[in-house]
Structure 1
Amino acid sequence: MNRERSVRRSALWRVLGCLLMVLFAAACGRGERASATTRDSRARPRLAVVTHGQASDPFWSVVKNGIDQAAKDMDVTVTYQAPQAFDMVAMSRLIDAEVARKPDGLIVSVPDPAALARSLQAARDAGIPILTINAGGEEARKMGALLHIGQSEYDAGKAGGERFARAGVRRAICVNHEVGNVSEDERCRGFLDALTKAGGEGRVLSVNAASPTDMQQKILAATTPEVDGVFTLGPAAARAALAALQSANRLGTTKLATFDLSPEILAAARDGQILFAIDQQQYLQGYLAVVLLAQYAQHGVLPAAEAIPTGPSFVTRENAAAVIDASKKGIR
């Protein structure tokens, strides 16, 4: 068994172990509710979710699906807020507004810990329990979060770099479409560290996610003849890279891979246009966060772990069809 498979299997067992604890907690919670010995007198807790991703975004819509399903399963009220674009000032204001409403729990993504520190401190001062999802895992405990649900972005990027190296890539660009997002920085850092260790080299290319045309043009200009790999950090940048490589007739000679999934990315993986897509199972991030925080708000129970890893896993030509079936149900 190679190292990557061993790491993935270890992560899977940790997730399964945590899920068993969640189910046990839910069973205990039902018993406590029946005997009216709940931690909170309110029968229907209210949770607030604030992320840096809009629910209309294909990636974040799946997170929202998980949140909505968990809210139904746990019989809790959940609100979802996000800024119109990647804007930490606006996100901080949204958190402040939710804190003022005094929810029973707060679920947040933390793409920029420094920018959100004051708002999260206000939540802690108000006695509001916090869970983090998706971004901010490395800083979650320092910021007072009870638990993080997501993946190590550095490790995921590193695993992607190792796969690129095994595929023969020696010179690559890592396309960062969200400058200022610490998680994206970590993804590129892990990717470039792995590629460099394998004898290759690479650099970060910053692009504007708000302009697909700008992304495509910059990726095309950066993909000089010696560049044989393009690694993107999300579906929007991957679509731009795919278009750039197709326009230059380099799709077969320049390897392309990305973080995260969308219908277009899954189709490209199925057709062999993308080497792989890194899947962090964002549905679980939304679903588990609501389940766990609802249990904590009502009964004071929580898994004894700092983080629950939901990734990375890899979608390739071999398994893309199965993932496409799940995506049609809104869970991948």
Structure 2
Amino acid sequence: MNRILAALGIGAALVAGIAMPAQAEGERYVLVSHAPDSDSWWNTIKNAIDVAGSQMGVTVEYRNPPTGDLADMARIIEQATASNPDGIIATIADFDVLSGPLGNAVGKGIPVITINSGTQEQSKQIGALMHVGQPEYDAGKGAGEKAKAAGVTNFLCVNHYITNPASVERCRGYADALGVDLGSQMIDSGQDPAEIKSKVLAYMQANPDTNGILTLGPLSAHPTIAALDESGKAGTIHFGTFDLSGEIADAIKGDVIAFGIDQQPYLQGYLPVVILTNLTRYGVVPGNSINSGPGFVTKANIGLVEQYAGEYR
């Protein structure tokens, strides 16, 4: 197992204060996400923990609030903690809501790794071992820089999970790169595809000078593609999105979407399971958090990744 970490160029350090056997059997880890059942993007992470669990010979349980309710997620973390797993992997969708339950898990002696949403600083405040994810503001700013270079001056950020502060940071970074204050150009689209499509069409009608769009994942990207198709504007507006899917890959190849921001969710699911298993068995863990992204997938490199979209990318 140590060779896996070495291949990633990650140094290992002894974790003080946690007594662990040299070899354990039947390890069980729990991954708690904020994602509603309707969000297919998380299928890649589910696949990643299945692969890692099989390779490591451990059990990994995936749990989430069916509707994406963060209070429900907090309760799920509390239930996971009460079940005494060998480790917990969780997103920090809202620090104020989740820092307490996650901090309680740490206080109980359960190793915690945070992933995806949240920041490295928030992860440290909770007492987690590390954070595996993408700096969301920086990723949004990178998207905005590409949009600015393409001539975007007026934009729409379609936020399908506005209660998640990380999603707002994506839009804010995009706006800052353009030198525009983030205000009404970010819409709360909700998560119903028909509603998202309707809101995008309404915004475009009310703001005909819009020449840039940013969506925050397949849940908002797919209905936005449909809205642009219906309005006849597909391919005429600079369109960037976070994350990948088969439909997003097709839109990139068809010059409808300029880029997909790949935060490599597979690594967000896979690495924590490998790291926690090495911690449980041998008492070693990387000393630093891991940036899994951002990377930009464009028409120039989509062929390298599209065959794995929804499974490994």
* Structure-1-length-normalised TM-score: 0.85
CA-CA distance at 1:327 after TM superposition: 2.5
- Equivalent residues in 2 for 1:236-255, closer than 5 Å: 236-255=219-238
Cα offsets for 1:110-132 (capped at 9, x unmatched): 11010112211221221111000
Q: Does 1:63 align with 2:45?
A: yes
Q: Is the 8 A contact 1:178 1:184 kept in 2?
A: yes
CA-CA distance at 1:40 after TM superposition: 5.8
Aligned length: 302
Q: Does 1:286 align with 2:275?
A: no
Hey, what does 1:208 align to over in structure 2?
A: 190
Q: 2:147 aligns with which of 147, 164, 187?
A: 164
Q: 2:91 aligns with which of 92, 109, 113?
A: 109
Amino acid at match of 2:56: M
- Equivalent residues in 2 for 1:102-181, closer than 5 Å: 102-138=84-120, 139-181=122-164
Identity of matched residues, %: 40
Hey, what does 1:31 align to over in structure 2?
A: none
* Structure-2-length-normalised TM-score: 0.90
CA-CA distance at 1:304 after TM superposition: 1.4
Amino acid at match of 2:73: M
Gaps of 5+ in 2: 14-18
Cα offsets for 1:52-91 (capped at 9, x unmatched): 1257733101001111111111111111101102111111
**165 and 61 in structure 1: CA distance in 2 versus 1, 3 angstrom threshold:** same
**38 and 299 in structure 1: CA distance in 2 versus 1, 3 angstrom threshold:** same
Q: Is the 8 A contact 1:171 1:200 kept in 2?
A: no
Instruction: Please give the secondary structure, in 2, of the residue aligned with 1:142.
Output: helix
Cα offsets for 1:142-188 (capped at 9, x unmatched): 11111000110000000000000111111101111101101101111
**302 and 41 in structure 1: CA distance in 2 versus 1, 3 angstrom threshold:** closer
d(CA) in 2 for partners of 1:17, 1:259 = 30
Q: Is the 8 A contact 2:39 2:219 kept in 1?
A: no
d(CA) in 1 for partners of 2:78, 2:7 = 31
Amino acid at match of 2:267: L
d(CA) in 2 for partners of 1:134, 1:17 = 23
**150 and 39 in structure 1: CA distance in 2 versus 1, 3 angstrom threshold:** same
d(CA) in 1 for partners of 2:162, 2:20 = 44
Amino acid at match of 2:195: D
Hey, what does 2:201 align to over in structure 1?
A: 220
d(CA) in 1 for partners of 2:253, 2:10 = 35
* RMSD of Structure 2 on Structure 1 (CA): 2.4
**110 and 192 in structure 1: CA distance in 2 versus 1, 3 angstrom threshold:** same
Hey, what does 2:16 align to over in structure 1?
A: none
